[in-house]
Amino acid sequence: EAAVTQSPRNKVTVTGGNVTLSCRQTNSHNYMYWYRQDTGHGLRLIHYSYGAGNLQIGDVPDGYKATRTTQEDFFLLLELASPSQTSLYFCASSGDIQAPLFGEGTRLSVL
């Protein structure tokens, strides 16, 4: 069964802290994405990748780094977390011209 698994599901950190969000897909999909969801803004694309070692910049990349280490694994890094990065983060994966399949989300709070 197609799956996208995110970890952790919840995370609390302090301003200036380092955070890594993890995402693994077992769907043999080429594309993986990181979105953030905030009330009034819908889903906003942070970074995406179309294969191991590839990284593409999305619409709201400032303050975020990402790395695709393997076909299955995509990480989102916040090196100096700020309260404005408090949000619900979704990872998704897809094949070419396919609807992305979303993970269950990671709720991040930056105090």
Partner 1 sequence: QQKVQQSPESLIVPEGGMASLNCTSSDRNVDYFWWYRQHSGKSPKMLMSIFSNGEKEEGRFTVHLNKASLHTSLHIRDSQPSDSALYLCAAYQGGRALIFGTGTTVSVSP
Contact set with partner 1 (CB under 8 A):
31, 33, 35, 40-45, 48, 56, 58-59, 90, 97, 99-105
Q: What is the Cα–Cα distance from 6 to 101, expressed in whole angstroms?
A: 12
- Report the nearest approach of partner 1 to the CB of residue 18 (Å): 25
C-alpha dist (Å) from residue 36 to 1, 28, 42, 70, 105: 25, 23, 8, 22, 9
Instruction: Identify which of residues 31 and 75 has a Cβ nearer to partner 1 in the complex.
Output: 31
Pairing mode, if any, of strands 87-94 and 42-49?
A: unpaired
Q: Are 79 and 31 in contact (CB under 8 A)?
A: no
Instruction: Identify which of residues 59 and 62 has a Cβ nearer to partner 1 in the complex.
Output: 59
Instruction: Identify which of residues 17 and 109 has a Cβ nearer to partner 1 in the complex.
Output: 109
- Report the nearest approach of partner 1 to the CB of residue 40 (Å): 6
